[in-house]
Chains A and B, each alone.
Chain A
Amino acid sequence: MLLGYGPDGPIPGRRVAITGIGVLSCCGVGTEALWTGLNGPAPEGERRVPDFDPSRWFGPKDARHVDRFAQFAVAAAEMALDDAEGLDADPARSGVVIGTGVGGFESLQSQVLVYGEKGARRVSPRLVPMMMSNAGAANVSIRAGWHGPSETITTACAAGTHSIGYAARLVASGRCDVAIGGGSEAAMTEVGIAAFANMTALSTSGHSRPFDRRRDGFVITEGAGALVLEDWDRAVARGARIYGELAGAASSADAHHITAPIPSGSGAAVCMEVAIEDAGLVPGDVAHINAHGTSTPLNDKAEAQAITTVFGSPGPVVTSTKGITGHGLGAAGAIEAVAAVLTIEHRLIPPTVGYEEPDPEIDLDIVTSTARPWEPGPILSNSFGFGGHNGCLVISPA
Protein backbone atom coordinates (compact mmCIF):
# COMPACT_ATOMS: atom_id res chain seq x y z
CA MET A 1 0.00 0.00 0.00
CA LEU A 2 1.37 3.38 -1.02
CA LEU A 3 1.55 6.53 1.08
CA GLY A 4 1.72 8.72 -2.02
CA TYR A 5 4.14 9.81 -4.70
CA GLY A 6 7.37 11.71 -4.12
CA PRO A 7 10.04 13.11 -6.44
CA ASP A 8 11.42 9.58 -6.88
CA GLY A 9 8.07 7.92 -7.56
CA PRO A 10 5.77 5.85 -5.36
CA ILE A 11 6.36 5.89 -1.58
CA PRO A 12 5.57 2.45 -0.16
CA GLY A 13 4.05 2.24 3.31
CA ARG A 14 4.47 -0.46 5.91
CA ARG A 15 2.93 -3.79 4.92
CA VAL A 16 -0.48 -4.41 6.49
CA ALA A 17 -1.37 -7.87 7.82
CA ILE A 18 -4.92 -9.11 8.32
CA THR A 19 -4.81 -10.89 11.69
CA GLY A 20 -8.44 -11.03 12.78
CA ILE A 21 -11.87 -11.27 11.17
CA GLY A 22 -15.40 -10.91 12.53
CA VAL A 23 -18.74 -10.93 10.74
CA LEU A 24 -22.52 -11.01 11.16
CA SER A 25 -24.69 -11.72 8.14
CA CYS A 26 -28.00 -13.30 7.23
CA CYS A 27 -26.05 -16.58 7.32
CA GLY A 28 -25.62 -16.11 11.08
CA VAL A 29 -23.13 -14.79 13.61
CA GLY A 30 -19.47 -15.53 12.92
CA THR A 31 -17.16 -16.48 10.07
CA GLU A 32 -18.07 -20.18 10.04
CA ALA A 33 -21.76 -19.37 9.59
CA LEU A 34 -20.88 -17.07 6.69
CA TRP A 35 -18.71 -19.64 4.95
CA THR A 36 -21.29 -22.40 5.36
CA GLY A 37 -24.00 -20.05 4.11
CA LEU A 38 -22.02 -18.93 1.05
CA ASN A 39 -21.70 -22.53 -0.04
CA GLY A 40 -25.34 -23.46 0.57
CA PRO A 41 -28.71 -22.66 -0.98
CA ALA A 42 -30.19 -19.16 -1.22
CA PRO A 43 -32.02 -18.18 1.99
CA GLU A 44 -35.79 -17.96 1.95
CA GLY A 45 -37.62 -14.79 2.96
CA GLU A 46 -36.18 -11.69 4.62
CA ARG A 47 -32.42 -11.74 5.10
CA ARG A 48 -31.95 -10.52 8.66
CA VAL A 49 -29.19 -11.68 11.03
CA PRO A 50 -31.05 -14.72 12.36
CA ASP A 51 -29.41 -15.42 15.68
CA PHE A 52 -28.12 -12.11 17.06
CA ASP A 53 -28.21 -12.03 20.85
CA PRO A 54 -27.11 -8.60 22.12
CA SER A 55 -26.60 -9.99 25.64
CA ARG A 56 -23.44 -11.73 24.39
CA TRP A 57 -21.87 -8.25 24.12
CA PHE A 58 -24.08 -5.86 26.10
CA GLY A 59 -25.62 -5.58 29.52
CA PRO A 60 -29.38 -4.85 29.54
CA LYS A 61 -28.90 -1.10 29.92
CA ASP A 62 -26.32 -0.72 27.13
CA ALA A 63 -28.47 -2.88 24.87
CA ARG A 64 -31.22 -0.25 25.24
CA HIS A 65 -28.86 2.62 24.56
CA VAL A 66 -27.02 1.33 21.50
CA ASP A 67 -28.80 1.06 18.13
CA ARG A 68 -28.83 -2.30 16.39
CA PHE A 69 -26.32 -1.11 13.73
CA ALA A 70 -23.82 -0.08 16.42
CA GLN A 71 -24.41 -3.33 18.30
CA PHE A 72 -23.49 -5.14 15.09
CA ALA A 73 -20.35 -3.00 14.76
CA VAL A 74 -19.26 -3.83 18.31
CA ALA A 75 -20.01 -7.53 17.83
CA ALA A 76 -18.07 -7.79 14.56
CA ALA A 77 -15.13 -5.77 15.90
CA GLU A 78 -14.89 -7.74 19.14
CA MET A 79 -15.12 -11.07 17.33
CA ALA A 80 -12.27 -9.87 15.10
CA LEU A 81 -10.24 -8.75 18.13
CA ASP A 82 -10.76 -12.13 19.82
CA ASP A 83 -9.75 -13.82 16.59
CA ALA A 84 -6.52 -11.78 16.48
CA GLU A 85 -5.52 -13.27 19.87
CA GLY A 86 -2.96 -11.59 22.08
CA LEU A 87 -2.96 -8.26 20.27
CA ASP A 88 -1.68 -6.32 23.30
CA ALA A 89 -2.08 -3.05 21.40
CA ASP A 90 -0.75 0.32 22.54
CA PRO A 91 -3.99 2.33 22.98
CA ALA A 92 -2.44 5.52 21.59
CA ARG A 93 -1.43 3.72 18.40
CA SER A 94 -4.64 1.77 17.81
CA GLY A 95 -7.50 3.05 15.67
CA VAL A 96 -11.05 2.28 14.57
CA VAL A 97 -12.74 3.06 11.26
CA ILE A 98 -16.29 1.72 10.92
CA GLY A 99 -18.48 2.84 8.04
CA THR A 100 -22.23 2.76 7.63
CA GLY A 101 -24.72 3.79 5.00
CA VAL A 102 -27.36 5.33 7.21
CA GLY A 103 -26.50 4.77 10.90
CA GLY A 104 -29.18 4.31 13.55
CA PHE A 105 -32.23 4.15 11.29
CA GLU A 106 -34.29 2.02 13.72
CA SER A 107 -33.80 4.53 16.56
CA LEU A 108 -34.65 7.47 14.34
CA GLN A 109 -37.78 5.83 12.96
CA SER A 110 -39.08 4.87 16.39
CA GLN A 111 -38.49 8.32 17.85
CA VAL A 112 -40.15 10.06 14.90
CA LEU A 113 -43.19 7.92 15.71
CA VAL A 114 -42.93 8.90 19.40
CA TYR A 115 -42.82 12.56 18.34
CA GLY A 116 -45.93 12.08 16.20
CA GLU A 117 -47.86 10.27 18.90
CA LYS A 118 -46.75 12.01 22.08
CA GLY A 119 -45.00 15.24 21.09
CA ALA A 120 -41.55 16.75 21.43
CA ARG A 121 -41.27 16.28 25.19
CA ARG A 122 -41.23 12.48 24.82
CA VAL A 123 -38.40 12.21 22.26
CA SER A 124 -35.63 10.16 23.84
CA PRO A 125 -32.58 12.04 25.14
CA ARG A 126 -30.64 9.03 23.81
CA LEU A 127 -31.70 9.51 20.22
CA VAL A 128 -28.67 11.51 19.07
CA PRO A 129 -26.00 9.12 20.37
CA MET A 130 -28.06 6.18 19.09
CA MET A 131 -28.72 7.41 15.57
CA MET A 132 -25.44 9.17 14.77
CA SER A 133 -23.53 7.38 12.02
CA ASN A 134 -20.33 7.40 14.07
CA ALA A 135 -21.96 5.45 16.94
CA GLY A 136 -20.44 2.19 15.69
CA ALA A 137 -16.86 3.47 15.69
CA ALA A 138 -17.47 5.37 18.95
CA ASN A 139 -18.75 2.34 20.84
CA VAL A 140 -15.91 0.16 19.56
CA SER A 141 -13.20 2.61 20.63
CA ILE A 142 -14.88 3.31 24.00
CA ARG A 143 -15.04 -0.38 24.82
CA ALA A 144 -11.50 -1.09 23.58
CA GLY A 145 -10.10 1.98 25.34
CA TRP A 146 -8.19 2.94 22.20
CA HIS A 147 -7.03 6.52 21.77
CA GLY A 148 -5.99 6.41 18.12
CA PRO A 149 -8.26 7.78 15.37
CA SER A 150 -11.89 6.67 15.66
CA GLU A 151 -13.82 7.66 12.57
CA THR A 152 -16.72 6.83 10.30
CA ILE A 153 -16.93 6.97 6.54
CA THR A 154 -20.40 7.36 5.09
CA THR A 155 -20.37 6.57 1.39
CA ALA A 156 -23.56 4.47 1.13
CA CYS A 157 -22.78 0.97 -0.13
CA ALA A 158 -19.05 1.67 -0.45
CA ALA A 159 -18.67 2.67 3.23
CA GLY A 160 -17.38 -0.67 4.52
CA THR A 161 -14.76 -0.94 1.78
CA HIS A 162 -13.62 2.67 2.17
CA SER A 163 -13.35 2.21 5.94
CA ILE A 164 -11.15 -0.87 5.63
CA GLY A 165 -8.97 0.95 3.10
CA TYR A 166 -8.58 3.96 5.36
CA ALA A 167 -7.89 1.80 8.43
CA ALA A 168 -5.20 -0.04 6.48
CA ARG A 169 -3.60 3.26 5.51
CA LEU A 170 -3.46 4.29 9.19
CA VAL A 171 -1.29 1.21 9.70
CA ALA A 172 0.70 1.63 6.47
CA SER A 173 1.54 5.24 7.35
CA GLY A 174 2.79 4.32 10.83
CA ARG A 175 0.15 6.35 12.67
CA CYS A 176 -1.29 3.10 14.05
CA ASP A 177 0.21 -0.29 14.76
CA VAL A 178 -3.25 -1.84 14.85
CA ALA A 179 -6.54 -0.68 13.36
CA ILE A 180 -10.00 -2.15 13.04
CA GLY A 181 -11.65 -1.48 9.70
CA GLY A 182 -15.23 -2.44 8.98
CA GLY A 183 -18.78 -1.57 8.11
CA SER A 184 -22.15 -2.03 9.75
CA GLU A 185 -25.79 -1.63 8.77
CA ALA A 186 -29.25 -2.27 10.24
CA ALA A 187 -31.59 -0.37 7.95
CA MET A 188 -34.31 -2.99 7.55
CA THR A 189 -36.94 -0.84 9.21
CA GLU A 190 -40.39 -0.34 7.74
CA VAL A 191 -39.44 3.11 6.43
CA GLY A 192 -36.04 1.93 5.19
CA ILE A 193 -37.50 -0.96 3.23
CA ALA A 194 -40.30 1.21 1.83
CA ALA A 195 -37.79 3.84 0.71
CA PHE A 196 -35.57 1.36 -1.12
CA ALA A 197 -38.62 -0.38 -2.59
CA ASN A 198 -40.18 2.83 -3.85
CA MET A 199 -37.00 3.87 -5.63
CA THR A 200 -37.28 0.46 -7.39
CA ALA A 201 -33.88 -0.63 -6.10
CA LEU A 202 -35.26 -3.78 -4.45
CA SER A 203 -35.99 -7.01 -6.24
CA THR A 204 -39.73 -7.49 -6.66
CA SER A 205 -39.22 -11.24 -7.20
CA GLY A 206 -37.29 -11.52 -3.92
CA HIS A 207 -34.41 -13.29 -5.69
CA SER A 208 -30.85 -12.04 -5.55
CA ARG A 209 -29.44 -13.02 -8.97
CA PRO A 210 -26.20 -11.12 -9.57
CA PHE A 211 -25.26 -10.87 -13.27
CA ASP A 212 -28.20 -13.10 -14.30
CA ARG A 213 -30.27 -11.94 -17.28
CA ARG A 214 -33.42 -12.00 -15.08
CA ARG A 215 -32.01 -9.89 -12.21
CA ASP A 216 -34.54 -7.32 -11.00
CA GLY A 217 -32.99 -5.50 -8.06
CA PHE A 218 -31.19 -6.21 -4.81
CA VAL A 219 -32.42 -8.10 -1.76
CA ILE A 220 -31.78 -5.97 1.33
CA THR A 221 -29.91 -7.40 4.30
CA GLU A 222 -28.22 -6.23 7.49
CA GLY A 223 -25.06 -7.13 9.39
CA ALA A 224 -21.45 -6.09 9.87
CA GLY A 225 -17.91 -7.12 9.10
CA ALA A 226 -14.58 -6.14 10.61
CA LEU A 227 -10.90 -6.83 10.00
CA VAL A 228 -8.03 -6.41 12.43
CA LEU A 229 -5.26 -4.78 10.44
CA GLU A 230 -1.77 -4.86 11.89
CA ASP A 231 1.73 -3.75 11.04
CA TRP A 232 3.18 -6.77 9.22
CA ASP A 233 6.49 -6.89 11.12
CA ARG A 234 4.64 -6.59 14.44
CA ALA A 235 2.31 -9.42 13.51
CA VAL A 236 5.24 -11.63 12.50
CA ALA A 237 7.16 -10.76 15.66
CA ARG A 238 4.30 -11.76 17.94
CA GLY A 239 3.68 -14.97 16.02
CA ALA A 240 0.18 -13.95 14.92
CA ARG A 241 -1.80 -15.95 12.39
CA ILE A 242 -1.68 -13.84 9.23
CA TYR A 243 -4.66 -14.47 6.96
CA GLY A 244 -3.31 -12.28 4.21
CA GLU A 245 -2.17 -8.79 3.30
CA LEU A 246 -4.36 -5.76 2.84
CA ALA A 247 -2.22 -4.81 -0.12
CA GLY A 248 -4.10 -1.97 -1.79
CA ALA A 249 -7.15 0.26 -1.65
CA ALA A 250 -8.68 3.00 -3.72
CA SER A 251 -11.58 5.42 -3.96
CA SER A 252 -13.12 7.18 -6.94
CA ALA A 253 -16.34 8.84 -8.07
CA ASP A 254 -18.63 8.25 -11.02
CA ALA A 255 -19.51 11.95 -11.20
CA HIS A 256 -22.65 11.01 -13.08
CA HIS A 257 -25.95 10.64 -11.18
CA ILE A 258 -27.09 10.46 -7.55
CA THR A 259 -28.18 6.80 -7.81
CA ALA A 260 -27.43 5.39 -11.28
CA PRO A 261 -23.90 4.22 -12.08
CA ILE A 262 -22.22 5.68 -15.15
CA PRO A 263 -23.12 3.11 -17.86
CA SER A 264 -19.55 2.76 -19.14
CA GLY A 265 -18.33 1.87 -15.65
CA SER A 266 -15.51 4.36 -16.15
CA GLY A 267 -15.52 5.52 -12.50
CA ALA A 268 -15.37 1.94 -11.24
CA ALA A 269 -12.61 1.12 -13.73
CA VAL A 270 -10.49 4.01 -12.41
CA CYS A 271 -11.01 2.71 -8.87
CA MET A 272 -9.92 -0.84 -9.74
CA GLU A 273 -6.85 0.41 -11.60
CA VAL A 274 -5.75 2.68 -8.76
CA ALA A 275 -6.26 -0.07 -6.14
CA ILE A 276 -4.16 -2.51 -8.21
CA GLU A 277 -1.43 0.12 -8.64
CA ASP A 278 -1.62 0.88 -4.90
CA ALA A 279 -0.82 -2.79 -4.29
CA GLY A 280 2.18 -2.59 -6.62
CA LEU A 281 0.48 -4.93 -9.10
CA VAL A 282 -0.78 -4.92 -12.66
CA PRO A 283 -4.26 -6.14 -13.69
CA GLY A 284 -2.88 -9.46 -14.97
CA ASP A 285 -1.79 -10.31 -11.40
CA VAL A 286 -5.37 -10.36 -10.06
CA ALA A 287 -6.61 -13.92 -9.58
CA HIS A 288 -10.17 -13.27 -8.51
CA ILE A 289 -12.76 -10.51 -8.09
CA ASN A 290 -15.37 -10.49 -5.35
CA ALA A 291 -17.74 -8.21 -7.24
CA HIS A 292 -20.16 -5.62 -5.92
CA GLY A 293 -22.71 -7.57 -8.03
CA THR A 294 -25.88 -6.31 -6.37
CA SER A 295 -28.35 -7.95 -8.77
CA THR A 296 -29.67 -4.60 -9.98
CA PRO A 297 -29.92 -4.28 -13.77
CA LEU A 298 -27.76 -1.14 -13.89
CA ASN A 299 -25.01 -2.00 -11.36
CA ASP A 300 -24.16 -5.41 -12.69
CA LYS A 301 -23.99 -4.26 -16.30
CA ALA A 302 -21.80 -1.24 -15.50
CA GLU A 303 -19.55 -3.27 -13.20
CA ALA A 304 -19.11 -5.96 -15.87
CA GLN A 305 -18.25 -3.24 -18.37
CA ALA A 306 -15.68 -1.80 -15.95
CA ILE A 307 -14.09 -5.20 -15.30
CA THR A 308 -13.82 -5.84 -19.03
CA THR A 309 -12.26 -2.40 -19.52
CA VAL A 310 -9.56 -3.07 -16.92
CA PHE A 311 -8.87 -6.78 -17.47
CA GLY A 312 -10.02 -7.56 -21.01
CA SER A 313 -12.20 -10.54 -21.79
CA PRO A 314 -12.99 -12.73 -19.92
CA GLY A 315 -10.71 -11.44 -17.10
CA PRO A 316 -10.25 -12.94 -13.63
CA VAL A 317 -12.72 -15.32 -12.00
CA VAL A 318 -15.67 -13.31 -10.64
CA THR A 319 -18.16 -14.10 -7.92
CA SER A 320 -20.85 -12.09 -6.16
CA THR A 321 -21.53 -13.40 -2.69
CA LYS A 322 -24.66 -11.20 -2.61
CA GLY A 323 -26.54 -14.10 -4.22
CA ILE A 324 -26.54 -15.50 -0.69
CA THR A 325 -26.08 -12.53 1.61
CA GLY A 326 -28.21 -10.01 -0.22
CA HIS A 327 -27.03 -6.40 -0.13
CA GLY A 328 -25.89 -5.11 3.25
CA LEU A 329 -25.36 -1.50 2.08
CA GLY A 330 -22.64 0.05 4.28
CA ALA A 331 -21.81 -3.39 5.69
CA ALA A 332 -21.55 -5.05 2.28
CA GLY A 333 -17.90 -4.27 1.54
CA ALA A 334 -16.84 -5.41 5.01
CA ILE A 335 -18.80 -8.67 4.81
CA GLU A 336 -17.26 -9.27 1.38
CA ALA A 337 -13.74 -8.49 2.60
CA VAL A 338 -14.29 -11.21 5.19
CA ALA A 339 -15.58 -13.50 2.41
CA ALA A 340 -12.39 -12.77 0.43
CA VAL A 341 -10.25 -13.67 3.46
CA LEU A 342 -12.25 -16.90 3.85
CA THR A 343 -11.63 -17.63 0.16
CA ILE A 344 -7.89 -17.52 0.90
CA GLU A 345 -8.39 -19.59 4.05
CA HIS A 346 -10.39 -22.32 2.27
CA ARG A 347 -8.74 -21.93 -1.15
CA LEU A 348 -12.20 -21.90 -2.67
CA ILE A 349 -14.24 -19.23 -4.44
CA PRO A 350 -17.90 -19.53 -3.41
CA PRO A 351 -20.46 -19.52 -6.22
CA THR A 352 -22.70 -16.68 -7.38
CA VAL A 353 -25.87 -18.28 -6.07
CA GLY A 354 -28.91 -17.28 -8.11
CA TYR A 355 -26.93 -16.86 -11.32
CA GLU A 356 -28.30 -19.28 -13.91
CA GLU A 357 -29.09 -17.49 -17.14
CA PRO A 358 -26.25 -15.51 -18.73
CA ASP A 359 -26.85 -11.93 -19.78
CA PRO A 360 -25.57 -11.49 -23.37
CA GLU A 361 -24.28 -8.04 -22.41
CA ILE A 362 -22.09 -9.40 -19.58
CA ASP A 363 -18.84 -11.08 -20.56
CA LEU A 364 -17.33 -12.34 -17.30
CA ASP A 365 -15.98 -15.65 -15.99
CA ILE A 366 -18.57 -16.11 -13.22
CA VAL A 367 -18.43 -18.92 -10.65
CA THR A 368 -21.72 -20.77 -10.89
CA SER A 369 -23.38 -23.68 -9.07
CA THR A 370 -20.56 -24.73 -6.75
CA ALA A 371 -17.34 -23.29 -5.39
CA ARG A 372 -14.33 -23.23 -7.70
CA PRO A 373 -10.72 -23.72 -6.52
CA TRP A 374 -8.94 -20.42 -5.96
CA GLU A 375 -5.58 -20.25 -7.73
CA PRO A 376 -3.50 -18.39 -5.13
CA GLY A 377 -3.21 -14.77 -6.14
CA PRO A 378 -4.51 -11.32 -5.21
CA ILE A 379 -8.25 -10.80 -4.75
CA LEU A 380 -9.98 -7.58 -5.72
CA SER A 381 -13.11 -6.66 -3.74
CA ASN A 382 -15.43 -4.05 -5.26
CA SER A 383 -18.06 -1.79 -3.67
CA PHE A 384 -20.04 0.96 -5.36
CA GLY A 385 -22.45 3.26 -3.57
CA PHE A 386 -25.33 5.59 -4.33
CA GLY A 387 -23.80 8.98 -4.94
CA GLY A 388 -21.33 7.42 -7.35
CA HIS A 389 -18.84 6.46 -4.62
CA ASN A 390 -16.54 3.63 -5.65
CA GLY A 391 -14.25 1.63 -3.37
CA CYS A 392 -11.87 -1.25 -4.08
CA LEU A 393 -9.60 -3.37 -1.92
CA VAL A 394 -6.78 -5.70 -2.91
CA ILE A 395 -6.34 -8.62 -0.51
CA SER A 396 -3.32 -10.82 -1.19
CA PRO A 397 -2.34 -14.19 0.25
CA ALA A 398 0.35 -14.02 2.93
Chain B
Amino acid sequence: MSNEETFEKFKEVAVEVLQVPADKVTPDARFAEDLDADSLDLVELVMALEESFDVTVEETELEGIETIGQAYDLIVAKL
Protein backbone atom coordinates (compact mmCIF):
# COMPACT_ATOMS: atom_id res chain seq x y z
CA MET B 1 0.00 0.00 0.00
CA SER B 2 1.39 3.42 -1.00
CA ASN B 3 1.58 6.26 1.50
CA GLU B 4 -1.28 7.91 -0.28
CA GLU B 5 -3.47 4.84 -0.07
CA THR B 6 -2.62 4.42 3.59
CA PHE B 7 -3.60 8.00 4.35
CA GLU B 8 -6.86 7.59 2.41
CA LYS B 9 -7.72 4.54 4.48
CA PHE B 10 -6.82 6.48 7.65
CA LYS B 11 -8.98 9.35 6.51
CA GLU B 12 -11.99 7.13 5.89
CA VAL B 13 -11.83 5.84 9.46
CA ALA B 14 -11.46 9.38 10.84
CA VAL B 15 -14.44 10.63 8.83
CA GLU B 16 -16.58 7.75 10.07
CA VAL B 17 -15.64 8.11 13.74
CA LEU B 18 -15.41 11.90 14.00
CA GLN B 19 -18.28 12.59 11.58
CA VAL B 20 -16.41 15.43 9.85
CA PRO B 21 -16.12 16.26 6.13
CA ALA B 22 -13.23 14.41 4.46
CA ASP B 23 -11.52 17.63 3.35
CA LYS B 24 -11.07 18.66 7.00
CA VAL B 25 -8.97 15.57 7.72
CA THR B 26 -5.54 16.97 6.86
CA PRO B 27 -2.21 16.28 8.55
CA ASP B 28 -2.27 19.69 10.24
CA ALA B 29 -5.84 19.38 11.56
CA ARG B 30 -5.93 19.59 15.36
CA PHE B 31 -8.40 17.24 17.08
CA ALA B 32 -9.84 19.67 19.59
CA GLU B 33 -9.72 22.97 17.71
CA ASP B 34 -10.33 21.91 14.11
CA LEU B 35 -12.29 18.66 14.40
CA ASP B 36 -14.30 19.25 17.58
CA ALA B 37 -13.02 15.96 18.97
CA ASP B 38 -12.68 15.35 22.71
CA SER B 39 -10.51 12.79 24.49
CA LEU B 40 -13.14 10.07 24.12
CA ASP B 41 -13.31 10.70 20.38
CA LEU B 42 -9.55 10.17 20.20
CA VAL B 43 -9.88 6.86 22.07
CA GLU B 44 -12.68 5.80 19.72
CA LEU B 45 -10.63 6.79 16.68
CA VAL B 46 -7.61 4.86 17.84
CA MET B 47 -9.76 1.79 18.50
CA ALA B 48 -11.16 1.96 14.98
CA LEU B 49 -7.66 2.44 13.55
CA GLU B 50 -6.36 -0.55 15.51
CA GLU B 51 -9.13 -2.59 13.96
CA SER B 52 -8.60 -1.30 10.40
CA PHE B 53 -4.82 -1.50 10.37
CA ASP B 54 -4.50 -4.52 12.66
CA VAL B 55 -2.11 -2.77 15.05
CA THR B 56 -2.07 -2.19 18.80
CA VAL B 57 -1.71 1.23 20.36
CA GLU B 58 -1.09 1.56 24.09
CA GLU B 59 -2.93 4.26 26.01
CA THR B 60 0.37 5.90 27.01
CA GLU B 61 1.26 6.38 23.34
CA LEU B 62 -1.69 8.75 22.94
CA GLU B 63 -0.15 11.36 25.22
CA GLY B 64 0.77 14.43 23.23
CA ILE B 65 -1.16 13.35 20.13
CA GLU B 66 -2.92 16.53 19.04
CA THR B 67 -3.11 16.41 15.24
CA ILE B 68 -4.20 14.03 12.50
CA GLY B 69 -0.60 13.91 11.28
CA GLN B 70 0.72 12.80 14.66
CA ALA B 71 -1.93 10.08 14.91
CA TYR B 72 -1.18 8.95 11.37
CA ASP B 73 2.56 8.72 12.07
CA LEU B 74 1.85 6.70 15.20
CA ILE B 75 -0.13 4.13 13.19
CA VAL B 76 2.24 4.05 10.22
CA ALA B 77 5.22 3.38 12.49
CA LYS B 78 3.54 0.13 13.51
CA LEU B 79 2.78 -1.18 10.04
What is A's interface to B at a CB cutoff of 8 Å? Answer: 59-61, 64, 121-122, 124-126
Contact = CB atoms under 8 A, between A and B. Distances in A.
Interface in B6-61: 18-19, 36, 40, 43-44, 47, 50-51
B43 A125 contact: yes
Contacts of A124: 44, 47
A122 B47 CA distance: 7
Contacts of A60: 19
Tell me if B's interface is mostly helix, strand, loop or mixed: helix
A59 B19 contact: yes
Contact of B44 (A59, A121, A125): A125
Contact of A122 (B18, B19, B51): B51
A318 B47 CA distance: 54
A64 B19 contact: yes
B64 to A, nearest CB: 19
Nearest to B43: A125
A303 to B, nearest CB: 44
Contacts, number: 18
Among B40, B43, B51, the one with the most A-chain Cβ atoms within 10 Å of its Cβ is B40
14 contacts: A59-B19, A60-B19, A61-B18, A61-B19, A61-B36, A64-B19, A121-B47, A121-B50, A124-B44, A124-B47, A125-B43, A125-B47, A126-B40, A126-B44
B78 to A, nearest CB: 15
A124 B40 CA distance: 9
Nearest to B44: A125
7 smallest CB-CB distances across A and B, nearest first, come from A61-B19, A125-B43, A60-B19, A125-B40, A125-B44, A126-B40, A122-B47
A98 to B, nearest CB: 23
Given A64-B19, A121-B50, A124-B44, 8 more contacts: A59-B19, A60-B19, A61-B18, A122-B47, A122-B51, A125-B43, A125-B47, A126-B44
A61 B14 CA distance: 12
Contacts of A64: 19
Contacts of A125: 40, 43-44, 47
A139 to B, nearest CB: 15
Contacts of B36: 61
A64 B40 CA distance: 13
A215 B4 CA distance: 65
Nearest to B51: A122
A107 to B, nearest CB: 13
Contacts of B47: 121-122, 124-125
B63 to A, nearest CB: 16
B59 to A, nearest CB: 10
Contacts of A126: 40, 44
Among A60, A61, A64, the one with the most B-chain Cβ atoms within 10 Å of its Cβ is A61
B13 to A, nearest CB: 14
A224 B43 CA distance: 31
Contacts of A61: 18-19, 36
A68 to B, nearest CB: 18
A289 B62 CA distance: 59
B79 to A, nearest CB: 19
A356 B44 CA distance: 53
Contacts of B50: 121
B75 to A, nearest CB: 16
A60 B15 CA distance: 11
Among B18, B36, B43, B47, the one with the most A-chain Cβ atoms within 10 Å of its Cβ is B47
A59 B43 CA distance: 20
A135 to B, nearest CB: 14
Nearest to B57: A121
A111 to B, nearest CB: 12
A105 B26 CA distance: 37
